[in-house]
Amino acid sequence: MSDIGDWIGGIPLITRYWFFLTVGFTILGKIGLVNPYYLVLLSDPFFKQFQFWRPISAMLFYPVNPMTGFHYLVNLYFLYQYSSRLETGLFDGRPADYLFLLLFNWICIAIASLTVGLRVLMVAGVMSVIYIWAQVNKDVTVSFLFGTQFKAFYLPWVILLFNLIVSGAFIEELIGNLVGHLYFFLMYKYPLDLGGRSFLSTPQILYRWLPNRRGGVSGFGVPPTSWRRPAEEHPGGGRHNWGRGFRLGDQ
């Protein structure tokens, strides 16, 4: 029990809540304490019956059965690994900024999902985080199935291709990748590398709830030098140790 407690305590704050809420909502739907019908994203109940919780529950719930159980566990592992690495790397000491990233991604994923009729958003949410981590660590070598190695930059698309081959579906991964690219472009690429205006900024209320802190858990990922100063100047923030790259599968 002590080891489990240490493991839980070692998960960064935002990732910890996301991980265990995902497990909790999935269990509630699986054992029938909550009807899964009320946990998925459906356009008519959302717009006509004002069931505004559906985009949130659809991001945290996954319909587990013998056919989908492995896919769920893989994405739960990805959530834990890559959300932790991003939160303790690029967003080290800046929980409010990381929460804003997730909120922005989730809203965009919900809008896209309502357009295409996607009912469960967990995979798209996880893929959006993987995409951003891969952009930050694009030159890091990662390993995939059977020891295949390639640059992290290609990881989101390798996962998409693998799922397409295995299950014939890819829309969840595609939406996640596109939303991750949208955030990355608007937050970093366009204002910092291309000299454009900044369209995204973390609301001040999030800084009041989750103030920046000096130091962090650890570091995963080295952002380009041009990103460092703007990130250091967020309200309530300080200088951070961005750390090093991290290979897929390392602990």
Convert the pLDDT of each residue in 109-139 to its tens digit: 999 999 999 999 999 999 999 999 999 999 9
Q: What is the pTM of this model?
A: 0.84
Q: Do the Cβ atoms of 118 and 41 come closer than 8 Å?
A: yes
pLDDT, residue 78, reads 94
pLDDT, residue 41, reads 96
Minimum mean pLDDT range among 86-95, 171-180, 210-219: 210-219
Write the CB contacts of 121 (distance below 8 Å, at least 6 apart in sequence): 41, 55, 58, 59, 106, 109, 110, 113, 172
Question: In whole numbers, what is the pLDDT of the chain averaged over residues?
Answer: 85
Higher pLDDT, 238 or 34: 34
Minimum mean pLDDT range among 53-57, 116-120, 141-145: 141-145
Residue with tokens 């694009």: 138
pLDDT for residue 235 is more than 70: no
b/e for 174-210, b at 16 or more Cβ within 10 A?
A: bbbbbbbbbbbbbbbebbbeeeeeeeeebeeebbeeb
- Domains for the chain: give ranges and CATH numbers: 2-232 (1.20.1540.10)
As a whole number of Å, the CA-based R_g of the chain is: 18
